[in-house]
Structure 1
Amino acid sequence: MKLVNPSPSLHNEDLAPAAERKWGAFSIFNVWTSDVHSLWGYYLAASLFLLCGSFINFVIAIGIGSMVIFFLMSLVGNAGVRTGVPFPVLARASFGTFGANAPALIRAVVACFWYGAQTAAAAGALVALLIRSPALLEFHQTSTFMGHSSLMFICFLVVWGAQLLIIQNGMETVRKFQDWAGPAVWIVMLVLAVYLVIKAGTFSFGSEIPQDVLIAATAGAGVTALPGSFAALMAVAATWITYFAALYLNFCDFSRYAKDEESLRRGNLWGLPVNLLAFCLVAGVTTTAAYTVYGEVLLHPEAISAKFDSLFLAILAALTFAVATLGINVVANFVSAAFDFSNVFPSKISFKGGGYIAALISLALFPWSPWETGAANFVNFIGSTMGPIFGIMMVDYYLIRKSQIDVNALYQEHGEFRFQNGWHVKAFIALGVGIIFSSILPTFTNVLPAWWGTYGWFFGVGIGGAVYYALRQGQAKV
């Protein structure tokens, strides 16, 4: 689409509607292999698998959760295909031309935090491999830099730099990286799973793990109900859906490059319900086989690879987990933050510039490593506001505007989406009400039942979206 006299304060080449649509179903599929196949994703998938209690329960809980994810991603993905714009630009339709910077910066804060956390996780996988050498183990234990192991810092820098190289030539380089990394990670994961199952001599689903050991090992997943119970299955499905909260907002950053909606649908179908079920199954089976072999519940894959007798397999696993984590960092964190920061000052910050800002922030955070402290609770609190944002944007696009947006007006400072001096007050009222129920009350008070927090994102979507719809009822353009 050719824009007519876009305002410089709202437009640059990267934020403009996608001119080239080269992403087919395979590339969309690999967005999801890159997003899911990471160290954090493996940990959550393995935990939720074990908490299901049986294979049938796993298919029900993870299957239902994955179908909901497919539906929600299709909503925002189709909007991206039809408009060709990234998330912060699409947000202008509901939050205003300048008000859209608020949800964009919320997303960017979360992206920067997890950019650093994922980089540290990938660096940790490399450290686990390198300390198999006695000399490097001694170096790791005795040399420190800024309060951390010098070896860890060196590996962090290596991974950090590798991610910058991936995005040097923009989104097309991201696509090519995904198309290579996604299948490669899958192949290696299957090799490792088969290796451990053969070594264990059995194919199981975790029933042999004592329940007290299982509950203690999976406590970080946030599911407090007894494994296999109905409450646990509900929480497993909700946790799996909520894990993708950030991508519900900015998946249009990728879908805007899809050839058409059919390519998007096929890519999402194979990349979400099919791929998610398969990934969780492989992660769970690998973890249970590792328990039989090593006598421990090893939910972190780098901990499993560190125990391999075969140096070749250990190297293969470490490099695979590092590449997989690079994938999710590029997809879930780098690209989003790049567009989000660019949206604040389009005339001064390009896509690359926004990405470099995110990378530098993550590097600056390393000495404090807030992802290893209670700061994670703060970021999760900020992240929970993504529920109301998603609800408001989807209600605006599908219910208020009936999927019809004047894309050119999204780039006009004094156009349709100016609202109140560039800010849409009704959207921010709805956002505030949604945040109260998705974040503030469940985090800081005991007013709501204990289980509410598990479903906080859902309440945020529903309440934020409903309040916005009520305020906008009968008003399609103001």
Structure 2
Amino acid sequence: MSFFRNRSIVARGAEGAKGNDVWLDNDDLRPLKLDDRTWTNNTYLTFWFSAAATVSNWYGASAAQALGLSMWESLACSLGGQLLIAIVITANGRAGAVYHIGFPILNRASFGIYGAWWPTFNRAVMAMVWNGVNAVQGGQCVYVMLHAIFPSIARIRNTMGPGSALTSAGMIGFVIFWLITCLFLVIPVPKMRVLVYAKLVVFVVSAFAMLGWCVGRAGGLGPVASHGSTVHGSEKAWLILRFLMLGAANCATFASNAADFQRYTKKPNGVILGNLLGFPVANLMVGLIGNIVGASSQNIFGELVWNPLDLLDRFQTTNYTPANRAGCFFIALMFVYCAIFSSIFENSLPAGNDLAALFPKYITIRIGFFICAVVSFALNPWYLLGSASIFVSFLASYQIFLSAITGVLLCNYYLVARGYLEIPDLFTSSKSGAYYFYHGWNFRAYIAYIIGVIPNFYGFLNNMGVGAPISVTRFYYFAYWVGLIVSAGVYWLLCKLSPVPVSYNSGWKEPKDYIRPDEQVLDGQALEDLEGSISLQTKQMPAEKVKDLQDLPS
């Protein structure tokens, strides 16, 4: 990386992007400043507990039980898949941890300065849709709380129609949840550490309270844990394989946009333990509680109630006592707090990064947060969930597109660029830029992306309702890994046949930690710590010569 080019991005930042580059640059998109790098391994450990503690994870963990696996088999499948995807999350977020840039900017290194717009737009739309879906679940949590306080809310006449997942009373909860989430969006992300820690305390207390409540009503843990599987032979083997793969594929969004939250780390290695340990352990704890609570419902009501919100409301509806109402209120409050952070970190933050990258002249990450909130409301997500189950299947199947993008990003960073990114060139449309490729588009990445999707597309259609042989259905269980490996392999081959400007055949080129040129202190130990942030030639110069270069005007 040229020392002069490193300094030029600072000059552009000070003056504001001009000309064609106005669509590529603003301060939110550039590598984070040192003061904004506040997250540590402990933060990421806590973050994953916060992210995992959601309504969908509670009932998603017990979904395998509903199809015939035992509670313990369901847990083992989830844990195995999440251990695998934790590796992908850590690996794909490495560029964010080292260079402190987000997913949209990382896309430019692989897909090109303009080619990055498609995967970025793609993910922005999905983030806004999922934000609406999460808000519906959050609204249901608020409704349980309101029902605990105001019993008359259950008697409000429903005018929403049969296609809605929310009643008129549920819509009150949705609006309240949406407004509360918008209030949290004004807090700078680096400053959310305390709130993330607080959420862990809230989750532990409330989750174990619900666990104890359900197990007590079910007659103890013994009867609950003794439920065996109801499937056998090859059917059971394929079911185990299916949910093992789903344990990974369901987290495809985290794997693709890992750079968005790993960019906040103080040190590049400060995310590794938090991801590899925190992610699977957090999901295991939530899955364990969710499975036990789901299994308890069989003993309590004679049927599996795998949605904890339905279970809570059923508790207070069947026995509307002050104790039951208080218990439902506080547990639902925990779900609300969890849903807020799920909305922010899984949807608002990615959408904000993406929208800021698509329209940097007009949109900052903060403005992107609120655009995401408004659009997710305008989509009427309560109708999406209530009237079109195939739409939800489509969202769940989106793994095949995300895995193909992730495969290209991983291959480019580890096998092609060898950990080296020319940071200034990620923010310029100059034809001499390393990531301009062909008119701003990298055809190699797009060919790899399309070929990575093709093997899974029939299974994707089958998952949406199109008839297909059982072999296609079973092949689709491996869709995420097929897309990831195929797209990465094709991209590597194309880069061998037609090398990209930033590529190396040997040696690891990653710096220890990238620091913005305007924050570099070029003396003694600081130079050593900034290895990789300036060119090898500059680092090898005498100290006097380096100081001369530093004193040059921008």
Aligned partner of 1:343 in structure 2 is: 357
2:189 is the counterpart of 1:166: no
In structure 2, do the counterparts of structure 1 residues 142 and 254 end up closer, same or farther at CA, with 3 Å as the change threshold?
A: closer
Supply the distance in 2 between the matched residues of 1:12 and 1:455 (Cα, whole angstroms). 39
Residue 483 (structure 2) aligned to one of 460, 466, 472: 460
Residue 10 (structure 1) aligned to one of 24, 32, 46: 24
Aligned partner of 2:537 in structure 1 is: none
Aligned partner of 1:99 in structure 2 is: 115
Q: Which amino acid aligns with 1:208?
A: H
2:275 is the counterpart of 1:252: no
Residue 137 (structure 1) aligned to one of 118, 133, 154: 154
Aligned partner of 1:477 in structure 2 is: 501
2:167 is the counterpart of 1:149: yes
1:272 Cα deviation after fit: 1.4
1:191 Cα deviation after fit: 1.5
In structure 2, do the counterparts of structure 1 residues 149 and 200 end up closer, same or farther at CA, with 3 Å as the change threshold?
A: closer
Which has the larger Rg? 2
In structure 2, do the counterparts of structure 1 residues 196 and 55 end up closer, same or farther at CA, with 3 Å as the change threshold?
A: closer
Structure 1 stretches of 5 or more lacking a match? Answer: 216-223
SS of 1:306's partner is: helix
Give the paired residue count.
465
Q: Which amino acid aligns with 1:435?
A: V
In structure 2, do the counterparts of structure 1 residues 259 and 48 end up closer, same or farther at CA, with 3 Å as the change threshold?
A: farther
Q: Give the TM-score normalised by the residue count of structure 1.
A: 0.90
The answer to whether the 8 Å contact 2:49/2:282 transfers is: yes
In structure 2, do the counterparts of structure 1 residues 249 and 426 end up closer, same or farther at CA, with 3 Å as the change threshold?
A: same
The answer to whether the 8 Å contact 1:65/1:241 transfers is: yes
Q: Which amino acid aligns with 1:464?
A: S
Supply the distance in 1 between the matched residues of 2:445 and 2:25 (Cα, whole angstroms). 22
Aligned partner of 2:17 in structure 1 is: none
Aligned partner of 2:342 in structure 1 is: 328
2:383 is the counterpart of 1:369: yes
Work out which structure has the larger RCO, using CA pairs closer than 8 Å and 6 or more positions apart in sequence.
Answer: 1
Q: Give the TM-score normalised by the residue count of structure 2.
A: 0.78
In structure 2, do the counterparts of structure 1 residues 210 and 268 end up closer, same or farther at CA, with 3 Å as the change threshold?
A: closer
Residue 312 (structure 2) aligned to one of 305, 315, 320: 305
Write out aligned runs for 1:27-176 (5 A).
27-48=43-64, 53-54=69-70, 57-58=73-74, 60-131=76-147, 133-139=150-156, 141-142=157-158, 144=160, 149-176=167-194
In structure 2, do the counterparts of structure 1 residues 121 and 58 end up closer, same or farther at CA, with 3 Å as the change threshold?
A: closer
Residue 180 (structure 1) aligned to one of 170, 194, 198: 198
The answer to whether the 8 Å contact 1:443/1:453 transfers is: no
Supply the distance in 2 between the matched residues of 1:256 and 1:336 (Cα, whole angstroms). 12
Larger CA deviation: 460-469 vs 172-181: 172-181
2:198 is the counterpart of 1:198: no
The answer to whether the 8 Å contact 1:8/1:347 transfers is: yes
2:301 is the counterpart of 1:294: yes
The answer to whether the 8 Å contact 1:74/1:265 transfers is: yes
Supply the distance in 2 between the matched residues of 1:195 and 1:59 (Cα, whole angstroms). 21
Write out aligned runs for 1:386-405 (5 A).
386-405=402-421
Structure 2 stretches of 5 or more lacking a match? Answer: 1-5, 13-20, 503-554
Tell me how large the CA RMSD over aligned residues is. Answer: 2.6
1:197 Cα deviation after fit: 1.5
Supply the distance in 1 between the matched residues of 2:137 and 2:298 (Cα, whole angstroms). 22
Supply the distance in 1 between the matched residues of 2:403 and 2:427 (Cα, whole angstroms). 25
In structure 2, do the counterparts of structure 1 residues 172 and 377 end up closer, same or farther at CA, with 3 Å as the change threshold?
A: same
The answer to whether the 8 Å contact 1:338/1:354 transfers is: yes
Supply the distance in 1 between the matched residues of 2:64 and 2:382 (Cα, whole angstroms). 30
1:157 Cα deviation after fit: 1.3
The answer to whether the 8 Å contact 1:167/1:173 transfers is: no
Supply the distance in 2 between the matched residues of 1:50 and 1:143 (Cα, whole angstroms). 32
SS of 2:221's partner is: coil
Supply the distance in 1 between the matched residues of 2:211 and 2:192 (Cα, whole angstroms). 28
Supply the distance in 2 between the matched residues of 1:363 and 1:60 (Cα, whole angstroms). 37
Larger CA deviation: 104-113 vs 258-267: 258-267
1:18 Cα deviation after fit: 1.1
Percent identity between matched residues is: 23
Q: Which amino acid aligns with 1:366?
A: N
1:199 Cα deviation after fit: 2.5
